[in-house]
Structure 1
Amino acid sequence: MKNVRSWGVSAVVAVLLVACGGGDPDVPGTGSPAGAPTTKGTFTAVVSFGDSLSDVGTYAPATSLAGNGTAPYFGGKFTTNSATGTVWVENLATSMGIVVTPAEVGFGASSVKCPAAATPALAGTCTAYGQGGARVTDPNGIGHAGGALTVPVVTQIANHLTRFTSFKDSDLILVYAGNNDVFTQFGTFAATAAQVQADAAAGKLTADQANAALFNAQTLAQGEMKKAALELAALVRTQILAKGGKYVAVMTLSDIADTPFGNSLPASARPVLTDLSRIFNLWLRDALTNQPVQLIDTFTIFKDGYANPGKYGIVNNTVPACDATKISAITSGAVTDGSSLFCNSTPGAPYNGLRTGADVNTWQFADGVHPTTGGHKIISDAFAAQLHAFGWI
């Protein structure tokens, strides 16, 4: 995607202001939520909605050692899986003395709602709704065609309300979504950009025509991210706050360009990826202005972590800890992209998929975009610090 021109967020906002006459003081994204609790909560449940970053084991059956969907599993979470390979949602819940389990587990045509309910004492713990591949409202998330459930956030929330009727004051509600909308829109943009540049190289388009086409493609992608952000904010307002949600934290998106995947892109394409997260964050903030929630600015938090890895005990934040070649061998060639869903870090196990020399605690990324065990600890520590700052824990 050489020669892609990036038209940044500032340029898009400038266009919006011109369209409004240039003098409108209501600049999108400059407002803030207001009215959220400032007192410590008495939490009995952690309720999380989102995607693979918050997935505590939805797709474990896909990693069945027997190959038939039954336990034991060698993977199941998008991290460096092991007995201690937990994701940030689990870390945070554990620090609060709360048990959280998947709201649904399955793959393909088979799934089970709240499998932990087989043990009656755990029936109320199935409040981790995040699923790998899930988008905000579109059920056809990343990996859906290959068997991933990708239940969108709109349905995740509806499923919670169906089961529990409403939210309780004792629920800590965490909403972290939009990443897969970024990947989807970036993929569409990248395909268009490749075609535009091929046409330009073949003399079918002039340089000006190519740049105009690229601008239109990027603007379209940013428009879809605005739509996703407004949809998520509407869900927070009408389906969480209006249904009893009191302690509600909503996460912005980090800069996906600061991942091994992002770093693999041409320099001209990385700003496009960055701007999709920024556009989402801008409109999410705008639509939650004066709403009684707290925003956690992961974009800024993670920027610091990426720029100062040593501050967080990280020695490698550029190379995935999971070895794609090993994972391909373990799965008999079924998984070739090195997905951390199938990456186990148990020392000496025949299904260990770690890269030689990798350390799950000091390497940040398990695969191209997902954190290791140590990477997830950085996230949970950062979010816990934010919750302390809010006065909630």
Structure 2
Amino acid sequence: MNRHRRSMLKRGVALASLLIGAVSGAQAGPYSNAYFFGDSLTDAGVFAAIPGVGANSHFSTNPGTIWAQNLGVRYGLSVTPSYAVVPTLPVYGFTPIAGGNDFAVGMGRISLAPTGPSYAVGIPPVSTQVDDFLARGPVDRNALYAVSGGHNDVIAQFSAVMGGGTLAAGQAALVTAADDMVAQVTRLQSAGVRNLIVVGIMDISRTPYAHEAAQLPYSAELQSLVSTFNTALVTGLAGKNALYFDTSRLLGTILANPAAYGFTNTTDAACAAALGCPAPAGTGGYLFADPKHPSEGGHRIISDWVYSSLEAANRAGLLSQVAMARAGAQWRSIDSRLQEFENFGYTGQGVFFSTDYSYSKRDASGGIPSGDDSGTNFVIGYEKALNDQMFGGVTLGYGHVPFDYGNNLGSVNYDEWTLSGFGAYKLGAFYANALASYSRLDFASTRRIALGPFNTVESGDTGGNRFAAKGQVGYNFVFGDVVHGPLAGLAWARVDVNGFSENSSSVTAMSYGDQARESLRSRLGWQVAAESHWFGVRVRPYGQLSYDYEHKDDERTYRVGFVGGTSSLEIAMANLTGGYGTMLAGFNAEFSKIVRLGVGASTTFGQPGDRISAVTVTLGAPF
């Protein structure tokens, strides 16, 4: 007997050592860095060395920041120029800065030299910016990449039209420019870039520049050129792995209700030229810093829009992640019934009712932040022992699990209905059990968006399915009223969430593609149970300690775009593999031949992605 106890103690110590080592790390944020390419809209201060410019080096209401810098702050990233101007005549030089991540340069075109002052002919176009970036070596696949440009190509063709050139020639040149922009996107993606956004050009025909005396007679031509470029760009990006931001549409949305976005003046410019111009007093409500460029407030709206859209794209993966984590809630009440039969036997048949409350602490992973979720599950079941060796039943369950996107970005109302079947077989001290379930999933998403002072909501509904199955084998040692022994199990689950679009047609509404996740977990553990009588009530306490391991590490993806858009961004979601511990304890009490009560508690520790704790209460009524 002493040798038997010492053997059990050794096994317990070995198992505990495995569990203590079951620790897994998680990715802290969605992007490791951010790289930008483009023109003055995205220039982070390349021209600071020009005398008289200094801190007023942005094409905005200086010293305010631009949208790319604002976006970097939201992700904890520093955004600095990749070039420094050398302001010597007759031609300015541009020296690469090794640590810079913003390659955009004011007055830059897509692939041609500027048509402005002769000293600006050396300004690197977007194509050269991409050349210089790729020359640095292998790309960072976990970084964010933003490509913009085309404003100066439109201005160049518009100047040609005002000078007597034909509109058709200008349109043809802009189609070529848009194709060149798409080519830069293709080059980056061919090099391994995957998190890529394209920021289109603003409708210059609706800026103060278009209403100046020289340009006003040609406003229709200017609008046509802008439309030609944007249409060609959208056409070229169709089907590509890129999220396209239609800033012309955003500008139109702001101009339709400027006060809601915090603007009091949308017709005048704060400065004649933004570069080198500190913002004059009283221009805080201006939409435009100069005739062509947005003010600090305008840049804030752009960055908020990009940020909220990227966050929506990344956090949509929570739908399938939470649904996957919930598979165990439906099983816990069934597990206790299987355990009762395997350890102490069961005769006859009966019904049982179970409620399960679980709390999940979620780790940050990719674009999904850390957070807390909780949910309640209800199960009604029928069970029957066919004989001393065979036992089985069916259950119907309902779960309600509202959860947040995190950071006040919205929430999801999640419900599921689950039908399960289970069975067990005993052969002497050996036993085996199996369980399979199908769940219908329903999601109602509400997403909160803040664009500067303007707040709005986007909502959408979708459904899905979860198929799951598991099996377990074990062996029971009997020592008086105590039953204990090893166990081994395998569990598989697959979650499919249908794609959906948010209900509005606004500039912030997004569409989400289908999602699919799979899980394959193994389990090795030891369980113990006992039988005693307390105050005339038969009580059977139990406990279990196991080492579980998630094996599925395949990366799955889903796509996200804007409602009505033709391009979308592929978002990767990988299972967090690794080992972790699960501990559970509880009791079953038989108050009479027709009333039984079960209470159980469980928790995981060291689990990759989620740590789940739960309490399950089951009321049984044999008959």
Q: Supply the AA of the counterpart residue of 1:248.
A: L
Q: How far did residue 379 of structure 1 move?
A: 1.3
| Pair 1:132-2:106 in alignment | yes
Structure number having the greater helix percentage? 1
TM-score, length-normalised on structure 1? 0.68
Mapped to 2, the partners of 1:41 and 1:275 lie a distance apart of 41
Mapped to 1, the partners of 2:32 and 2:222 lie a distance apart of 38
Q: How does 1:51-130 map to 2 (within 5 A)?
A: 51-64=39-52, 73-82=54-63, 85-106=64-85, 107-108=87-88, 109-114=92-97, 123=99, 126-130=100-104
On the 8 A contact 1:56/1:130 being kept in 2, the answer is: yes
Mapped to 2, the partners of 1:320 and 1:271 lie a distance apart of 21
- Relative to structure 1, the CA distance from residue 320 to residue 223 in structure 2 (aligned partners, 3 Å threshold; closer, same or farther) is same
Q: How far did residue 257 of structure 1 move?
A: 0.9
- Relative to structure 1, the CA distance from residue 254 to residue 74 in structure 2 (aligned partners, 3 Å threshold; closer, same or farther) is closer
Q: Which stretch of structure 1 is more off in the superposition, 307-316 or 140-149?
A: 140-149
Q: How does 1:4-43 map to 2 (within 5 A)?
A: 42-43=30-31
Q: Deviations over 1:97-149 (max 9, x none)?
A: 001110001134444321xx6xxxxx3xx1101101000000x2144513474
Match of 1:146 in 2: 119
Q: How far did residue 376 of structure 1 move?
A: 1.0
On the 8 A contact 1:257/1:273 being kept in 2, the answer is: yes
Q: Supply the AA of the counterpart residue of 2:46.
A: T
Mapped to 2, the partners of 1:269 and 1:41 lie a distance apart of 47
Q: How far did residue 60 of structure 1 move?
A: 0.8
Q: Deviations over 1:198-231 (max 9, x none)?
A: xxxxxxxxxxxxxxxxxxx001100000000011
Q: Supply the AA of the counterpart residue of 1:358.
A: G
On the 8 A contact 1:137/1:152 being kept in 2, the answer is: yes
Secondary structure at 1:174's aligned position in 2? strand
Aligned partner (choices 152, 170, 194) of residue 221 of structure 1: 170
The size of the alignment, in residue pairs, is 285
Match of 2:199 in 1: 251
Q: Which has the higher contact order (CA 8 A, sep 6+)?
A: 1
Q: How far did residue 183 of structure 1 move?
A: 0.2
Q: How does 1:1-393 map to 2 (within 5 A)?
A: 42-64=30-52, 73-82=54-63, 85-106=64-85, 107-108=87-88, 109-114=92-97, 123=99, 126-138=100-112, 140-143=113-116, 145-147=118-120, 149-163=122-136, 165-192=137-164, 217-237=166-186, 239-264=187-212, 268-322=217-271, 338-345=272-279, 354=280, 357-360=281-284, 362-391=285-314, 393=367
Q: Deviations over 1:43-74 (max 9, x none)?
A: 12111100000000011111447xxxxxxx24
Q: Deviations over 1:145-174 (max 9, x none)?
A: 1347421000000100112x1322221100
Identity among equivalent positions (%) equals 29
On the 8 A contact 1:225/1:276 being kept in 2, the answer is: yes
Q: How far did residue 307 of structure 1 move?
A: 2.1
On the 8 A contact 1:189/1:218 being kept in 2, the answer is: yes
Mapped to 1, the partners of 2:245 and 2:294 lie a distance apart of 18
On the 8 A contact 2:114/2:120 being kept in 1, the answer is: no
On the 8 A contact 2:52/2:276 being kept in 1, the answer is: no
How much is the aligned-residue C-alpha RMSD, in angstroms?
A: 2.1
Q: Deviations over 1:345-371 (max 9, x none)?
A: 3xxxxxxxx2xx5323x1111111111
Q: Deviations over 1:173-215 (max 9, x none)?
A: 001110000000000001106xxxxxxxxxxxxxxxxxxxxxx
- Relative to structure 1, the CA distance from residue 291 to residue 111 in structure 2 (aligned partners, 3 Å threshold; closer, same or farther) is closer
Match of 2:454 in 1: none
On the 8 A contact 1:174/1:250 being kept in 2, the answer is: yes
On the 8 A contact 1:133/1:144 being kept in 2, the answer is: no
Match of 2:350 in 1: none
On the 8 A contact 2:94/2:123 being kept in 1, the answer is: no
Q: Which runs of 5+ in 2 are unaligned?
A: 1-27, 316-366, 368-623
* Higher Rg: 2
Q: Supply the AA of the counterpart residue of 1:80.
A: T
TM-score, length-normalised on structure 2? 0.44
On the 8 A contact 1:134/1:180 being kept in 2, the answer is: yes
Q: Which runs of 5+ in 1 are unaligned?
A: 1-39, 66-72, 118-122, 194-216, 323-337, 346-353
Mapped to 2, the partners of 1:262 and 1:314 lie a distance apart of 19
Structure number having the greater strand percentage? 2
Mapped to 1, the partners of 2:273 and 2:49 lie a distance apart of 15
